[in-house]
Structure 1
Amino acid sequence: MRFDELIHQPTRLKIMAYLTGLGTDAQVEFGTLLRELDLTEGNLSRHLSKLEEAGYVTIEKGYEKKRPRTWIRLTGLGHDALQHHLAALEELARQARYPAGEREGS
């Protein structure tokens, strides 16, 4: 069982879960993510930068109707990392729920 320390941080875990919930190849505008997760701009920016450095998200800047916009998208690497992290959390929860003698396969 191995946790991804980058994803394990609560705010980044929320970001990753939200992006995964959007589905494959979906993107979200920065302002929408800001409102949905109830974060400050600085806080969200800092966490997204760390996720981008790890290759878990892409951040694309552009314009929509002459207004600057920033779109965030989960990468395949990010999706896989979240799935592995969730599996580790599920294993930990299973171990906590059942004493060693009651676990399946014991």
Structure 2
Amino acid sequence: MKNPIGALNKIFDSRIRLGVMSVLIVNDSVSFNDLKQLLELTDGNLASHLNTLEQAEFIKMHKAFIGRKTNTTYTLTDLGRQTFKAHLDALEKMIKGI
């Protein structure tokens, strides 16, 4: 039997990155402020985890202006969606003991 732990992605070991991906997989895009509020994080803490996900090319940042204020939103990339789903599948197999 193959060890299901090997199919887990180390990037998602962090509960914050797991939370970000969970929010983004069910939403087309989410603003920085909404993520911060949903996950109850500080700006700096969230920014560092978003940077990690962005460097791995799992999420994409979009900046726009609403009036004179910047609005930063995040979306999943195709790679991020596929990788996260594979991670969730591996977790499910571990739980079910497959």
Aligned to 1:32: 34
- Matched with 1:14 is 19
Structure 1: gaps of 5 or more residues: 96-102
Describe how 1:18-97 pairs up with structure 2 within 5 A: 18-22=23-27, 26-95=28-97
Structure 1 outlier segments of 4+, above 6 Å? none
Aligned residues: 93
TM-score by length of 2: 0.89
TM-score, normalized by length of structure 1? 0.83
> Which residue of 2 is the match for residue 99 of structure 1?
none
Sequence identity of aligned pairs in percent?
Answer: 31
TM superposition shift of 1:16: 0.2
* AA of the residue aligned to 1:68: T
> What is the distance in 1 between the residues matched to 2:31 and 2:17?
16
Per-residue CA deviations over 1:21-58 (Å, capped at 9, x if unaligned) read: 11xxx111111111111111111000000000000000
| Rg (Cα) greater in structure | 1
- Structure 2: gaps spanning 5 or more residues: none
- Once superposed, what is the RMSD of the aligned Cα atoms? 1.1
Distance (whole Å) between structure 2 residues aligned to residue 54 and residue 21 of structure 1: 20
